[in-house]
């Protein structure tokens, strides 16, 4: 049988350790380190992003500029940037573009809502 390599994205280390233990015990699945290149899948903790982080990421997908996203959410641009910093760390990316791509891949964005003004 072929072994499938997966990485785990979890909201915190405790949940990550739990998922690594449970998934690692399954036959034919190898839990790889996040930096692995030859990964065939990703296991995503449903609570990876908080409600606020999801709202900010969705607003960034819906609007062209951070200022517009902040105004739509009634928060400051700095607050958006703080949320994005946490999102980047959790999704293991270093730019908004990559965060949006990764979020779409992982099903973290509401595709039906994408488009200007649909918060």
Give 26-69 pLDDT, tens digit per residue: 888 888 876 656 777 777 877 889 999 999 999 999 998 999 99
Structural domain of 73: 51-113
Residues 9 and 45 sit within 8 Å (Cβ to Cβ): yes
What pTM was estimated for this model as a whole? 0.73
How many whole angstroms separate alpha carbon 66 and alpha carbon 71?
Answer: 9
57 in the same domain as 27: no
Neighbours of 41 (CB within 10 A): 12
Q: In terms of C-beta density within 10 A (0-12 exposed, 13-18 middle, 19 or more buried), how is residue 71 classed?
A: middle
56 in the same domain as 29: no
> What value does the mean pLDDT take over residues 84-92?
92
Domain count, the chain: 2
């Amino acid at each position: 049988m072929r072994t499938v390599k997966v990485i785990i994205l979890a909201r915190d280390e405790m949940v990550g350790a739990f998922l690594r233990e449970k998934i690692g015990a399954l036959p034919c699945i190898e839990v790889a380190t996040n930096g692995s290149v030859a990964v065939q899948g990703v296991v995503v903790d449903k609570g990876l992003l908080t409600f606020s982080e999801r709202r900010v990421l969705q607003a960034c997908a819906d609007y062209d500029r951070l200022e517009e996203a902040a105004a739509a959410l009634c928060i400051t641009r700095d607050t958006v940037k703080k949320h994005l910093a946490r999102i980047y760390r959790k999704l293991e990316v270093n730019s908004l573009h990559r965060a949006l791509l990764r979020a779409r891949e992982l099903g973290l964005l509401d595709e039906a809502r994408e488009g200007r003004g649909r918060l």
